[in-house]
Amino acid sequence: MHAQILTAARRPLAAAELPAPRPGPQQLLIAVRACAVCRTDLHVVDGELADPKLPLVLGHEIIGTVVEKGAAADRFAIGDRVGVPWLGWTCGVCDYCRSGQENLCDRARFTGYQIDGGYAELTVADQRFCFTIDSHYGDVEAAPLMCAGLIGYRTLRMAGDAQRLGIYGFGAAAHIVAQVARHQGRRLFAFTRPGDAAAQEFARSLGAEWAGDSTTPPPEPLDAALIFAPVGSLVPAALAATKKGGTVVCGGIHMSDIPSFPYRILWEERVLRSVANLTRRDAEEFLALAPEAGVRTETTTYPLDRANEALGDLRSGALKGAAVLVP
């Protein structure tokens, strides 16, 4: 099968011809129909996440069709369409797994990082971590739901019932979260790279009542802020924009260092927290909510062999919504 592989950090992906993977007892062999490109993929390529499997097939926002099943795989039938997320396997027995926090499992394994992912024609995935995708969505349109959507949704959940919601970094996750937040009746304030008029216009088109530079304070204090851009200096900016008792949630897996800041912008019971990975419960909830909330995704498609170009466009901030690879 054709695949794009990472052979070492800080190198472009290389085209490769790999043997078709074989499904283990609990696994599905999946013909990849679409795989979205996530900011996390860039962090892996850039060597910012430790010890990836190498060589590695990146990609953890996979939509595909089941073409073969392992001996114990009984949740799906041949021909079913499934989605494969970042959470690829958990141990089921550690304290985290047993307390509803499998996202923090001590032995968790992640798709497109420790397990080969979807930048390929075929992939295998554990059936227990695969999901049915609503027929409302085409393959390309559904792909960004699998991480930008799922982890974006978990990030939004951590904001509680905040009404005035700030979103820092208006990329793939934000454009989905914005639609869910508006569906829930929240007020939306979007912060972009300074001067990025196109991203600000995009945010307004998705229901933001205000959109501006990340260096500019919002017109009123925020009840909560979500940070999706991997930029540590946004943490003090978001804390300063958030009201007493409000929450700032960091939704990414990696961020540049956070500069020191005066205690007074955290004081008055502001909460600063991160979000890590997802649970299967997040996925079930969000994949049911997305069609009900009328969530649509904005995508730019690239043939699989142009994966490096897709990563480059994501890095430069040129994309509106999500990049999706199609084998």
Q: 185 in helix, strand or coil?
A: coil
Query: Is residue 275 part of the contact set for Zn ion (CB under 5 A)?
Result: no
Q: Kindly tell me which residue out of 9, 67, 91, 231 binds Zn ion, with binding defined by CB under 5 A.
A: 91
Q: Kindly tell me which residue out of 42, 147, 162, 283 binds Zn ion, with binding defined by CB under 5 A.
A: 147
From residue 134, alpha-carbon distances to 129, 252, 322 in Å are 16, 26, 19
Sheet of strand 2-6: strand arrangement: 14-17, 2-6, 56-57
Binding-residue total with Zn ion (CB under 5 A): 8
For Zn ion, the closer of residues 82 and 237 by Cβ is 82
For Zn ion, the closer of residues 26 and 200 by Cβ is 26
Nearest in space to 66 (alpha carbons), one of 134, 115, 125: 125
Q: Kindly tell me which residue out of 13, 105, 199, 323 binds Zn ion, with binding defined by CB under 5 A.
A: 105
For Zn ion, the closer of residues 254 and 264 by Cβ is 254
Q: 233 in helix, strand or coil?
A: coil
For Zn ion, the closer of residues 25 and 92 by Cβ is 92
- Sign of the alpha-carbon dihedral angle for 101, 104, 108, 114: positive
- In terms of Cβ atoms closer than 10 Å to its own Cβ (0-12, 13-18, 19+), residue 74 is exposed
Q: Minimum distance from CB of 233 to Zn ion (Å)?
A: 22
Q: Minimum distance from CB of 306 to Zn ion (Å)?
A: 19
For Zn ion, the closer of residues 40 and 123 by Cβ is 40
Q: Minimum distance from CB of 38 to Zn ion (Å)?
A: 3
48 contacts 110 by C-beta, under 8 angstroms: no
Calculate the dihedral angle through the C-alpha atoms of 253, 254, 259, 260, rounding to the nearest 10 degrees. 50
Q: Which stretch binds Zn ion (CB under 5 A): 67-75, 147-155, 193-201, 228-236?
A: 147-155
Q: Minimum distance from CB of 120 to Zn ion (Å)?
A: 17
Q: Minimum distance from CB of 216 to Zn ion (Å)?
A: 28
Q: For residue 285, what are its two tokens?
A: 């909830």
| CB count in 10 Å sphere of residue 222 | 27
- Who's near 46: CB < 8 A, 6+ residues apart? 9, 10
* Nearest-angstrom CA–CA distance, 189 and 308: 32
For Zn ion, the closer of residues 210 and 286 by Cβ is 286
Query: Is residue 322 part of the contact set for Zn ion (CB under 5 A)?
Result: no
- Residue span 28-57 as binding mask against Zn ion, x where in contact by CB under 5 A, dash where not: ----------x-x-----------------
Q: Minimum distance from CB of 182 to Zn ion (Å)?
A: 23
- Residue span 187-226 as binding mask against Zn ion, x where in contact by CB under 5 A, dash where not: ----------------------------------------
Query: Is residue 179 part of the contact set for Zn ion (CB under 5 A)?
Result: no
Strands 14-17 and 164-168: unpaired
Nearest in space to 228 (alpha carbons), one of 191, 179, 259: 191
| CB count in 10 Å sphere of residue 282 | 21
Query: Is residue 97 part of the contact set for Zn ion (CB under 5 A)?
Result: yes
Q: Minimum distance from CB of 117 to Zn ion (Å)?
A: 10
Q: Minimum distance from CB of 176 to Zn ion (Å)?
A: 12
Contact set with Zn ion (CB under 5 A)? 38, 40, 90-91, 94, 97, 105, 147
